[in-house]
Chain A
Amino acid sequence: EVQLVESGGGLVQPGGSLRLSCAASGFTVSSNYMSWVRQAPGKGLEWVSVIYSGGSTYYADSVKGRFTISRDNSKNTLYLQMNSLRAEDTAVYYCARDPPGTGVFDYWGQGTLVTVSS
């Protein structure tokens, strides 16, 4: 059974850092494209970043230069390192699987809440 479990969210001050984790089971992270998608309170969905099976990484303009996506193949886990956090980064962050080349998010985690506030 495919499962994605996020962790690492919490309250952080503006300018601070946080690292989110997404532990996968039932499939191999490194064989898929994996994305982070976020949702601000009461708002819609916003794609944040993707890491390809080959290791290439891409980011939304809103987080470029501040966030870094990575994975640990030995732990079958996806990460999102978030630096220089701003109030507008407050959101539930979801990890999602995207079978290579499809552009389809077929499995999602339950989400982890990040709150940026002083």
Chain B
Amino acid sequence: DIQMTQSPSSLSASVGDRVTITCQASQDISNYLNWYQQKPGKAPKLLIYDASNLETGVPSRFSGSGSGTDFTFTISSLQPEDIATYYCQQYDNLPPLFTFGPGTKVDIK
């Protein structure tokens, strides 16, 4: 099975800062990598799909990049409403298996 790691596990940044989260797969997953935001007590929300595509309605300060085993998620200018935990997720289809990274908790400094 493919394992996903994320770093850092948590971070604290100021409003307006650029925030970067990395996600690494244990083997090549092409661009089958998605990013979700989860606020406390709420369901996850899709932000980025297929590594770099912004979901409709998601602010453009969110972006993603990468392919193969190394991926990056960026918030270009951190806003107070971005306080949340962010998860990467990969997809295998033979057999189907969805694996989430352990998450990165983002706080305001």
Contacts and interface: CB of A to CB of B under 8 A. Distances in A.
Interface of A: 35, 37, 44-47, 50, 52, 58, 60, 94, 101-106, 108-111
A47 B49 contact: no
A108 B34 contact: no
Contact of B96 (A44, A58, A109): A58
A46 B93 contact: no
Interface residues of B, number: 26
A111 B39 CA distance: 13
Contacts of A50: 96, 98
A108 B32 contact: no
Given A106-B46, A109-B43, A44 B34 contact: no
B96 A108 contact: no
A105 B34 CA distance: 9
Interface of B is mostly: strand
Contacts of B95: 58
Interface of B: 32, 34, 36, 38, 42-46, 49-50, 55, 87, 89-91, 93, 95-103
Contacts of A58: 95-97
A45 B87 contact: yes
B43 A103 contact: no
B100 A46 contact: yes
A94 B87 CA distance: 15
A8 B84 CA distance: 27
23 contacts: A35-B98, A44-B87, A44-B103, A45-B36, A45-B38, A45-B100, A46-B100, A47-B100, A52-B96, A58-B97, A60-B97, A94-B43, A101-B93, A102-B91, A103-B90, A103-B93, A105-B98, A106-B46, A106-B55, A108-B43, A108-B44, A110-B42, A110-B43
B43 A45 contact: no
B102 A44 contact: yes
A48 B93 CA distance: 15
A47 B87 CA distance: 13
